[in-house]
Amino acid sequence: MRSSSGGRVYLVGAGPGDPELLTLRAVRLLQQADVLVYDNLVSPGVLDFAPANAERIYAGKRRNEHTMRQEQINVLLVKLAREGKRVVRLKGGDPFIFGRGGEEMQELAAKGIDFEVVPGVTAACGVASYSGIPLTHRDHAQVALFVTGHLKDGSKVELDWPALVRPSQTVVIYMGLNALPEICRQLIAHGAPASRPIAVVQHGTMASQQVLTGTLADMPHKVAAAKLSSPSLLIVGDVVTLQETLDWFRPTGAAGQDTAALPLDILTSLQP
């Protein structure tokens, strides 16, 4: 049974950073929102699509720093919907790829709240594209795997290492920068050649994007020397060797930087 309050929650993928990668559906909903509940990885340019009078609630999570626990976010979404509000729950990338969107939907469904999901460009696809790294390529990779490199207890990454070292595939690791030395060590220990290419992309799709390429053997040292920070994405596989040739994105004056020029009047006139 659904809520009779008129409230509704929209779980919206905000994409990897560049506001121009939002879907038209996402922009329409942002323009109509009463409340935004947004994560740490949602860029400010995305929030600018919402009305100035829309309430903005930050619910971001960083390493060892949670503004709200997931349980609190779930309760908040239910409360706002029961107040009759149109709630846009903004999540970086896509809500269903390491975004805990499924958990939030389960809570909304259990409480009888109307909801809708708007997919977003997930970080793996968006960041790889802006880095000039095709995730699949007939000559290099026929499989792409998405995994999370989050440290479970602060020191150990628990992944299916034998599956991740197979040849002819690309492995994209979310939230893995802090565990990079351990990830590289484990991949090599489980059979990946130390020379296997790897890229680390910081602030992908944004003006501050940086791409660092190397091998499993030397990448931890390179990242430390470059002082890269989160949010960063790791891409492992032979496709990384194409980056130098296919590197097309120039942050200064490139796509996604002139957000003031977006055709908001056209978007507003489109019928849902």
Cα-Cα-Cα-Cα dihedral of 55, 92, 82, 34, to 10°?
30
Which residues are CB-neighbours of 270 under 8 A, at least 6 positions away?
A: 24, 28
Given the residues 48, 61, 222, 247, select the one marked as catalytic: 61
CA neighbor of 38 nearest in space, from 55, 20, 19, 51:
55
Given the residues 39, 85, 91, 94, select the one marked as catalytic: 39
Tokens of 253: 């004056």
- C-alpha span between 233 and 241 (Å, rounded): 16
61 is catalytic: yes
18 is catalytic: no
The number of residues in the chain equals 272
Task: Centre a 10 Å sphere on the Cβ of residue 261 and count the other Cβ atoms it contains.
Answer: 8
Q: What are phi and psi of 6, to 5 degrees?
A: 90, -10
List 46's β-bridge partners, or say none.
none
Q: What are phi and psi of 233, to 5 degrees?
A: -120, 140
List 51's β-bridge partners, or say none.
none
Residues annotated catalytic, as ranges: 39, 61
